[in-house]
A = this chain, B = another copy of it.
């Protein structure tokens, strides 16, 4: 194996590739980046317990002298390429077990891993991928994954439920105290599907999407999901088990609706959360819609002090006065997902879940369970 390539092109691809690198693993070969060199293409493959990434590099700077494939210790390889100052990097093998890296005034050798040990990874593509704008995929991730459970005792809740139902794609995440639901229209009919993708995989995909390409293709299979994004194939395992049926959790009628400026509401809750009582790790804040149509956000910690915030709804609220208490973190997390400047907070009762919707965020619902206080 012997080729040279633009250092910058190699680095940019490695930075994506390393997102699927195992750092701690009982299988040392998963700490490696598999590099396959063809006459006009270099392929990088990485894989860990959750995701596998395959990158095809066909850059005009690529000059291949000898083809071949090697398995390179991933972390060291990326660290070195990141620090090289030469414009071009030459990579070659020495006696089959050493990689030589030459660039500028640097001459580096790295002991290779045994490429025979590397498992064959099947990147599963189908003929009818779902095509989305990349920015739509990014908003699905941004608006749902934060609501997945961080606790592993119900593993299925650490994932985002993705369903294809007719001409809808539905993404749902819940940690059982809050729920995030995003529905988007998809252009034509696909086979109905119902899968659960690890939230961590989607967080990594989100970083890859920073590349800013226009479109992403989603290849859904019953065992895996593969995102095709420019020269990147990003595949994630799916979580086993049934995602809870959440449809009935979301109330359909809301006798009380209050419209707020999102930012005013955010800063009021944020300030109130400073002194609020800790319930486990959760700061509890109270919202009081008064009969004079003003809203008071309060928190109270007998030892420290008390905060009272006045917030003025944009329009006269619909419905009767209500007092409700909730986790300020959950409310703030939910508010952050809206692009709208104005949000509706809809209540059905003091101990019933309430939802937040945005005037400009079609298809997005954030639901939060209130907290009982005295």
Number of copies: 2
Judge whether A305 is part of the interface by a CB distance below 8 angstroms: yes
What is the CA–CA distance of A111 and B270 in the complex, to the nearest angstrom? 20
Which of A73, A106, A267, A308 has the most chain B CB atoms closer than 10 A to its own CB? A106
Contact with B along A102-139 (1 / 0, CB 8 A): 00011111110000000000000000000000000000
Assess whether B107 is in contact with A274, with CB atoms less than 8 Å apart.
Answer: no
Q: Which residues of chain B come closer than 8 Å to A79, judged between CB atoms?
A: 274
Contact with B along A278-313 (1 / 0, CB 8 A): 000000000000000000000000011111111100
A80 to chain B, nearest CB (A): 6
Q: Which residues of chain B come closer than 8 Å to A111, judged between CB atoms?
A: 303-305
Assess whether B304 is in contact with A73, with CB atoms less than 8 Å apart.
Answer: yes
Judge whether A324 is part of the interface by a CB distance below 8 angstroms: no
Q: Which residues of chain B come closer than 8 Å to A308, judged between CB atoms?
A: 106-108
Assess whether A274 is in contact with B306, with CB atoms less than 8 Å apart.
Answer: no
Q: Which residue of B lies closest to A273 (CB)?
A: B83
Which residues of chain A from 242 to 284 have any CB-CB distance to chain B below 8 Å in the complex? 267-268, 270-271, 274-275
Assess whether A110 is in contact with B304, with CB atoms less than 8 Å apart.
Answer: yes
A8 to chain B, nearest CB (A): 16
What is the CA–CA distance of A271 and B111 in the complex, to the nearest angstrom? 17
Judge whether A62 is part of the interface by a CB distance below 8 angstroms: no
Q: Which residues of chain B come closer than 8 Å to A271, judged between CB atoms?
A: 80, 83-84, 106, 108
Assess whether A311 is in contact with B76, with CB atoms less than 8 Å apart.
Answer: no
A271 to chain B, nearest CB (A): 5
A151 to chain B, nearest CB (A): 28
Q: Which residue of B lies closest to A299 (CB)?
A: B108
Judge whether A322 is part of the interface by a CB distance below 8 angstroms: no
Judge whether A85 is part of the interface by a CB distance below 8 angstroms: yes
A214 to chain B, nearest CB (A): 37
The listed residue (B85, B98, B304) touching A305 by CB distance below 8 A is B98
A318 to chain B, nearest CB (A): 23
What is the CA–CA distance of A108 and B268 in the complex, to the nearest angstrom? 12
Which residues of chain A from 51 to 94 have any CB-CB distance to chain B below 8 Å in the complex? 73, 76, 79-80, 83-85
Q: Which residues of chain B come closer than 8 Å to A303, judged between CB atoms?
A: 111
What is the CA–CA distance of A307 and B100 in the complex, to the nearest angstrom? 10
Q: Which residue of B lies closest to A275 (CB)?
A: B76
The listed residue (B108, B268, B309) touching A275 by CB distance below 8 A is B108
Please list the 5 inter-chain residue pairs (A to B) with the smallest Cβ-Cβ separation, ordered nearest first: A110-B305, A105-B310, A107-B308, A109-B305, A109-B306
Question: What are 22 A-B pairs with beta-carbon distances under 8 A?
Answer: A73-B304, A76-B274, A79-B274, A80-B274, A83-B270, A83-B274, A84-B271, A85-B267, A105-B268, A105-B311, A106-B268, A106-B271, A107-B309, A108-B275, A108-B305, A108-B306, A108-B307, A108-B308, A109-B305, A110-B304, A111-B303, A111-B304
